[in-house]
């Protein structure tokens, strides 16, 4: 009887402390939307949209001549419109849907075309396990599926917008639009599937890309240099940068990019947690370090620190930290900021003039090269102190660097060859290069019938 009384007392204590109740709840708990995670990803989605319009639009728009600024702004706006539509019609399904057979590692299917079968209250079928978006029947995300689609839509929008920087001031608007749609369909969607879908072959290999070093920056950067080479130089390009028409716009655009990048990187964990906080911190530190490094290089080599230089350095740091944001700490961010700034500075200031290609706004020199630097350094500097399941060469995991190099090489090859073919198709169908007269007058007037600035007597 005494033993029974003790057992009853112990049971009562369990109820009173809530331990029994917690155990029972844990057993029967079902997946549900987390309001904190959802609110944060809604905000992160809006921040990434801010990166394209107005951030990138103003950054690129300020760097071109005044006769072409509206053309750049229009390109960013039309990309936001048309790629958003492409994304919900079929892009999301191709990037994140599950195929069968030999197609599975390379591209999704059309099951989610027009967002078919995705309900208002459906949970995201993906969750972030460490770095990766993974589909798993036993693990459901804590945000609505529709929100995940919109979040990824912003990545699909900004990627082709980055390419604009290479062919600015010399491309027909109609040809640009057709090329952009084709590129998003046949280049962006497959690469996103490779890296971020659980079916993807690079995902299965273990490639680390927290927020888009390969999918976004290398992909766009390689397309940029191919487009620049195939279109040819601007008619009045003399082998060195043409002075920007409005550096004030460049500063505003760069600042908005820096601000929006917090959503880009810190949102990629799909949760409001410590990993998001770390991603936000290292994003800021890498950008700050790269901006300072570029300014010092300008100061030491050119004798004066330039405003365009510090803005370019900040963007280079943001690019390079993107794939690493969920894997490195402050030390890694500092190293990435310094290294990428030095390498991109050399590319922009020495390699481009030496080789003579006209990458108008350094889309390849900053985004392409910066993305490569970041993806490779992720394989070196990833530390288990941030995520215990992942480590780089500096922490004894040599294989990770090999995987990163394969991911970089595969993305470069596919984007390069694919962009070349799509250029040829578009050029044959409707043409891409603006005429000498159109280029001389300016694309604002010849392509849109407008001028950005009005002169008053």
Token code pair at residue 69: 């600024």
Helix (H, G, I), strand (E, B) or coil at 408: helix
In this prediction, residue 100 carries a pLDDT of 83
Token code pair at residue 20: 């029994």
Q: Rounded mean pLDDT of 130-148?
A: 65
Q: Rounded mean pLDDT of 51-80?
A: 98
Q: What is the pTM of this model?
A: 0.90
Q: Rounded mean pLDDT of 377-388?
A: 97
273-313 residue pLDDT tens: 999 999 999 999 999 999 999 999 999 999 999 999 999 99
Q: What is each CA distance from 242 to 65, 252, 438, in whole angstroms?
A: 8, 20, 18
Write the DSSP symbol of residue 291. H
394-449 residue pLDDT tens: 999 999 999 999 999 999 999 999 999 999 999 999 999 999 999 999 999 999 99
Distance CA 180, CA 18 (A): 58
Closest by CA to 357, choosing from 243, 244, 239, is: 239
Token code pair at residue 143: 């945000």
Burial of 119 (0-12, 13-18, 19+ CB in 10 A): exposed
Is pLDDT above 60 for 119?
Answer: yes
Helix (H, G, I), strand (E, B) or coil at 136: strand
Higher pLDDT pick, 328 / 101: 328
Q: 264: how many CB neighbours lie within 10 A of its CB?
A: 25
255-264 residue pLDDT tens: 999 999 999 9
For helices 189-196 and 398-429, what crossing angle results, to 10°?
Answer: 170
Distance CA 354, CA 79 (A): 32
Strand partners, 123: 144
In this prediction, residue 187 carries a pLDDT of 98
Contact 339, 380 (CB under 8 A): no
Where do the H-state alpha helices sit in 65-144?
69-86, 92-96
CATH fold for the domain made of 35-448 = Ammonium transporter fold (1.10.3430)
Peptide bond into 43 cis (omega under 30): no
Q: If you average pLDDT over every residue of the chain, what do you get? A: 91
Query: Cβ contacts of residue 289 below 8 Å, gap of 6+?
Result: 317, 333, 334, 336, 337, 338, 341
Distance CA 234, CA 246 (A): 19
332-347 residue pLDDT tens: 999 999 999 999 999 9
Confidence of residue 127 (pLDDT cuts 50, 70, 90): low
Q: Encode burial over 294-311: b for 16+ CB neighbours within 10 A, e otherwise.
A: bbbbbeeeeeeeeebbbb
Closest by CA to 131, choosing from 278, 318, 259, is: 278
Q: Rounded mean pLDDT of 363-377?
A: 98
191-216 residue pLDDT tens: 999 999 988 999 999 999 999 999 99
Domain limits of the chain?
35-448
Strand partners, 171: 433
Q: Rounded mean pLDDT of 83-100?
A: 95
In this prediction, residue 102 carries a pLDDT of 81
In this prediction, residue 18 carries a pLDDT of 45
């Amino acid at each position: 009887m005494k033993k029974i009384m003790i057992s009853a007392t112990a049971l009562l204590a369990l109820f009173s402390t809530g331990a029994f109740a917690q155990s029972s709840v844990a057993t029967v708990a079902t997946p549900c939307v987390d309001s904190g995670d959802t609110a944060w990803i809604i905000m992160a989605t809006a921040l990434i949209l801010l990166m394209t319009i107005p951030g990138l639009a103003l950054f690129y728009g300020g760097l071109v001549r005044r006769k072409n600024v509206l053309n750049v702004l229009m390109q960013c706006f039309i990309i936001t419109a048309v790629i958003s539509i492409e994304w919900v019609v079929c892009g999301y399904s191709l990037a994140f849907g599950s195929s069968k057979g030999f197609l599975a590692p390379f591209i999704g299917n059309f099951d989610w075309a027009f967002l078919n079968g995705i309900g208002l209250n459906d949970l995201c079928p993906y969750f972030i396990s460490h770095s990766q978006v993974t589909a798993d029947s036993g693990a459901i995300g804590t945000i609505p599926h529709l929100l995940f689609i919109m979040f990824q839509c912003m990545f699909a929008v900004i990627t082709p917008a980055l390419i604009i920087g290479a062919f600015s001031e010399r491309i027909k608007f109609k040809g640009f639009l057709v090329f952009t749609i084709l590129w998003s369909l046949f280049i962006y969607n497959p690469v996103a599937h490779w890296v971020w879908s659980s079916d993807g072959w690079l995902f299965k290999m273990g490639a680390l890309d927290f927020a888009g070093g390969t999918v976004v920056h290398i992909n766009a950067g390689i397309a940029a240099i191919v487009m620049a080479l195939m279109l040819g130089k601007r008619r009045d390009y003399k082998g060195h940068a043409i002075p920007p028409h409005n550096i004030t716009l460049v500063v505003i655009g760069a600042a908005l990019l820096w601000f929006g990048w917090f959503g880009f990187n810190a949102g990629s964990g799909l949760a409001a947690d410590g990993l998001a906080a770390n991603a936000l911190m290292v994003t800021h530190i890498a950008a700050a370090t790269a901006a300072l490094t570029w300014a010092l290089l300008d100061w030491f080599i050119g004798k004066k620190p330039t405003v365009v230089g510090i803005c370019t350095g900040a963007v280079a740091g943001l690019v390079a930290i993107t794939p690493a944001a969920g894997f490195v700490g402050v030390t890694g961010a500092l190293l990435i900021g310094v290294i990428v700034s030095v390498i991109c500075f050399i590319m922009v200031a020495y390699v481009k003039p030496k080789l003579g290609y006209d990458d108008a706004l350094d889309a390849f020199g900053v985004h392409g090269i910066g993305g490569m630097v970041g993806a490779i350094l992720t394989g070196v500097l990833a530390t288990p102190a941030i995520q215990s399941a992942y480590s780089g060469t500096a922490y004894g995991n040599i294989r990770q660097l090999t995987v990163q190099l394969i991911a970089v090489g595969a993305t470069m090859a596919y984007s390069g060859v694919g962009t070349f073919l799509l250029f040829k198709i578009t050029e044959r169908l409707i043409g891409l290069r603006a005429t000498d007269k159109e280029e001389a007058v300016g694309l604002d007037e010849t392509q849109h019938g407008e001028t950005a600035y009005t002169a008053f007597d």
